[in-house]
Amino acid sequence: MYTLNCNGTLIDLNTPRVMGIINVTPDSFYDGGKWTSLEAIEAQARIMVSQGASFLDVGGYSSRPGANEVPVDEEMDRVLPVVASLYKSFPHIPISIDTFRSRVAKAAVAEGAAMVNDISGGLLDEEMLSVVADLQVPYIMMHMRGTPQNMTSKTQYENVTQEVLSFFAERISLAREAGINDLVVDPGFGFAKTAEQSFELLRHLELFDVLDLPYLVGVSRKSMIYKTLGSTPGEALNGTTALHSVALLKGASVLRVHDVKEAVECVTLIEKLRGTS
């Protein structure tokens, strides 16, 4: 049974959980610039919590392909007031800080964040693993090559699933050596991966069981869905739900989503199908 210790509360992952995305960036691929005030952000968070979100993931640096570089102080200016506000309004909901910078992670945890979600698995900031260990919060490590600015040029793999698993074997070992207790892995769908490679990862997702850790799946409204269907991010909810069902059947513990209600319904139905609810 997998659990995460978030600010002293054990979160049971036996039943899959849903993480709501709170982007406070002007340029995210789907909802960039949608919520521009603390009041609007808090209203969106309240909807997500009422719909069943177990976590809220706050990010101030768009990681879409080709996204602009964001100075660290600007990232902190974007996320810290949001984390503080959400922690005050929803003290029972663990807040995740979506950052690859240890300075941002440390400051966000001081404002109430309960976990760190790092798209680089610690590769873009050599201090990240030691800082997370000192903070004693759960750490979500994602697989990516390069940076958001150049990752689309780094999609050469012999066997994408095996190479991602090898990456995690190495990074998990380093995280354990640093002293991180609670780990979650994220295969990084769409990050330095073509649509075909992302589908290959999803096809073999159950192989991640070998890591003996919970895994998070983030496919919500991504290009692997809407480009395959010839649509847009705004039209990709149905496709997202289809792939969420596959991910859950293959053992995903957390779904990171823009649309909480539909994801929670998906969890409910898959759990019924399994006979566990």
- Interatomic CA distance for residues 140 and 183, integer angstroms: 6
CB 106 within 8 A of CB 137: no
Catalytic residue (choose from 222, 227, 250, 274) = 222
- The tokens of 111 are what? 């404002």
SS3 130: helix
- Going from the C-alpha of 252 to that of each of 175, 216, 231, the distances in angstroms are 21, 6, 26
- The tokens of 8 are what? 């002293």
Beta bridge partners of 257: 20
The neighbour count for residue 8, using CB atoms within 10 Å, is 6
Among 154, 169, 160, which residue's Cα sits nearest to residue 200? 160
For this structure, is 256 an active site residue? yes
Phi/psi at 70 (5° precision): -120, 120
Catalytic residue (choose from 101, 106, 171, 256) = 256
User: How wide is the angle at C-alpha 64 spanned by C-alphas 90 and 102, nearest 5°?
Assistant: 55
For this structure, is 222 an active site residue? yes
- Interatomic CA distance for residues 193 and 39, integer angstroms: 36
Which residues are the active-site residues?
A: 222, 256
